[in-house]
């Protein structure tokens, strides 16, 4: 991929240098240890009461004090990032910026305004509006805070464990998560969730598969623009993305996990389906190409 000349996004939140949620938890742990001492004296009990009232009062007003405390706690624990890590973050920033350009154009065609998502880089674990997440889960999008979360260590796994190396494969993963953001903005995700509530387990899975395949198709649309408008693609790039789409299909992951392949439990689609929908988005380069629900 020819990405170095690309624009960098303003929407990166880099938490890698921080201790992340474990630091915040450490803070909570210290608080809990202080409580018995405070309870021993009258002044201590009053202080505790003030603290509790203050904490829940702030919470009531919508301010989470533990979260406010986290960034200051984390700055002290910042680590040096290796040049390789820095370059990877730079790359992610360019890809995100490129998806922004793509979706601004596509939304304009629909008479809508695209709202850019944030992308959080983290290490090991992170607190999101969707709960506590560990890197082992792979990158994900949280509709609650409209942020993408990625631990760059996942890219090592893609290369070493999933057999999907290459920068375009890495970009595809981001473009897929951005696809979920697009579905959230367009109301697709809400409709799917609603339909799933009245559906059987198998039907709900099917809806999930359709939603995932559509995100793959949207990733393909990004690929189309990256290629035609910005000439970022080099030989072999598309193969990389298709290989990645195939490598992280549910059937393949299930097989790798040592189980038999059970199509009704697929929530992302088979490798073949993922490749097909990515290609469709890439070849047609428009949102109409991606109706996986019909």
Subset of residues 212 to 271 that bind Zn ion, contact rule: CB under 5 A: 212, 215
Q: Which residue, 11 or 208, has its beta carbon nearer to Zn ion?
A: 208
Cβ pair 152, 92 in contact under 8 A = yes
Per-residue contact flags (x/-) with Zn ion for residues 58 to 97, judged by CB under 5 A = ----------------------------------------
Rounded to a whole number of angstroms, the minimum distance from the CB of residue 177 to Zn ion is 7
Rounded to a whole number of angstroms, the minimum distance from the CB of residue 212 to Zn ion is 5
Rounded to a whole number of angstroms, the minimum distance from the CB of residue 119 to Zn ion is 15
Stretch in the footprint of Zn ion (CB under 5 A) among 29-37, 65-73, 209-217, 227-235: 209-217
Rounded Cα gap, residues 206 and 200, in angstroms: 10
Rounded to a whole number of angstroms, the minimum distance from the CB of residue 218 to Zn ion is 10
Rounded to a whole number of angstroms, the minimum distance from the CB of residue 228 to Zn ion is 25
Cβ pair 15, 120 in contact under 8 A = yes
Stretch in the footprint of Zn ion (CB under 5 A) among 15-23, 58-66, 127-135, 208-216: 208-216
Rounded to a whole number of angstroms, the minimum distance from the CB of residue 179 to Zn ion is 7
In the chain, what is the straight-line distance between the N-terminal and C-terminal CA atoms, in Å? 34
Stretch in the footprint of Zn ion (CB under 5 A) among 56-64, 97-105, 120-128, 207-215: 207-215
Rounded to a whole number of angstroms, the minimum distance from the CB of residue 176 to Zn ion is 6
Q: Which residue, 139 or 166, has its beta carbon nearer to Zn ion?
A: 139
Q: How many residues bind Zn ion (CB under 5 A)?
A: 2
Q: Which residue, 95 or 215, has its beta carbon nearer to Zn ion?
A: 215
Stretch in the footprint of Zn ion (CB under 5 A) among 145-153, 161-169, 181-189, 204-212: 204-212
Subset of residues 24 to 43 that bind Zn ion, contact rule: CB under 5 A: none
Q: Which residue, 182 or 287, has its beta carbon nearer to Zn ion?
A: 182
Write out the residues near Zn ion by the rule CB under 5 A.
212, 215
């Amino acid at each position: 991929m020819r990405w170095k000349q690309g624009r960098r996004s303003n929407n990166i939140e880099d938490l890698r240098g921080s201790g992340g949620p474990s630091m915040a938890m450490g803070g909570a742990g210290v608080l809990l240890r202080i409580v018995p001492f405070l309870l021993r004296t009258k002044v201590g009990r009053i202080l505790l009461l003030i603290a509790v009232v203050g904490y829940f009062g702030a919470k009531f007003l919508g301010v989470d004090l533990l979260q406010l405390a986290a960034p200051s706690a984390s700055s002290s624990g910042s680590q040096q990032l290796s040049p390789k890590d820095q370059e990877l973050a730079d790359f992610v920033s360019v890809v995100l910026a490129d998806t922004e350009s793509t979706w601004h154009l596509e939304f304009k065609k629909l008479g809508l305004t695209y709202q850019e998502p944030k992308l959080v880089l983290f290490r090991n674990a992170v607190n999101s509006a969707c709960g506590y997440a560990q890197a082992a889960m792979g990158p994900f999008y949280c509709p609650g805070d409209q942020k993408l979360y990625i631990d760059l260590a996942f890219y090592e796994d893609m290369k070493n464990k999933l057999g999907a190396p290459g920068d375009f494969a890495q970009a595809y993963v981001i473009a897929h998560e951005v696809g979920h953001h697009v579905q959230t903005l367009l109301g697709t995700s809400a409709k799917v969730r609603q339909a799933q509530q009245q559906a059987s387990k198998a039907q709900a899975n099917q809806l999930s598969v359709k939603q995932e395949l559509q995100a793959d198709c949207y990733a393909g649309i990004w690929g189309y623009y990256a290629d035609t408008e910005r000439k970022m693609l080099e030989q072999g790039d598309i193969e990389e993305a298709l290989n990645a789409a195939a490598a992280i299909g549910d059937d393949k992951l299930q097989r790798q996990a040592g189980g038999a392949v059970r199509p009704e439990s697929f929530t992302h689609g088979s490798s073949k389906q993922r490749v097909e929908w990515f290609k469709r988005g890439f070849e047609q380069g428009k949102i109409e190409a991606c109706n996986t629900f019909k």
